[in-house]
Amino acid sequence: MRNLLPAAALLPLIALGARALAAEASAVPPPGPGLDLINQRCAFCHNTAQIFSQHKSAPAWAATVSQMANRGAEVSPEEEKVIVDYLAKNYGAPDQPATSAPSQK
């Protein structure tokens, strides 16, 4: 009975953590040509969850993808662009204003 109070105080914290985990696991990547390419080209060395857990600006995604190409990811320059567009759109960095990214055209 004496231990009941501390345990009760911790319960909301545990519930909160579990909910955060569930939200992460159920976040399904939106469909698109970029997703198809990522599943084909990027799931080779690591889980795509490693990709979709990140949030980066467009230039940062471009740097990551070309880094992966250097490591052995088989992506053509066109495919690289599709993948970067997809990731920047769906897994962008919300804290960075879009205007800070240099325009592509």
Torsion, Cα of 50, 35, 17, 64 (10° steps): 40
What is the C-alpha to C-alpha distance for residues 48 and 35, in angstroms, rounded to an integer?
Answer: 10
Q: Is 66 in the site for ligand HEC (CB under 6 A)?
A: no
Which residues make Cβ contacts (< 8 Å) with residue 37, sequence separation at least 6? 75, 79, 82, 83, 86
Which residues make Cβ contacts (< 8 Å) with residue 44, sequence separation at least 6? 73
Residue number with CB closer to ligand HEC (48 or 100): 48
| Binding-site member from 35, 62, 82, 83 for ligand HEC (CB under 6 A) | 83
Task: Using the rule CB under 6 A, give the single segment among 5-13, 25-33, 68-76, 94-102 that binds ligand HEC.
Answer: 68-76
Q: Shortest gap between Cβ of 56 and ligand HEC (angstroms)?
A: 7
Residues of this chain that bind ligand HEC (CB under 6 A): 38, 41-42, 44-46, 50-51, 54, 64-65, 68, 71-73, 75, 83
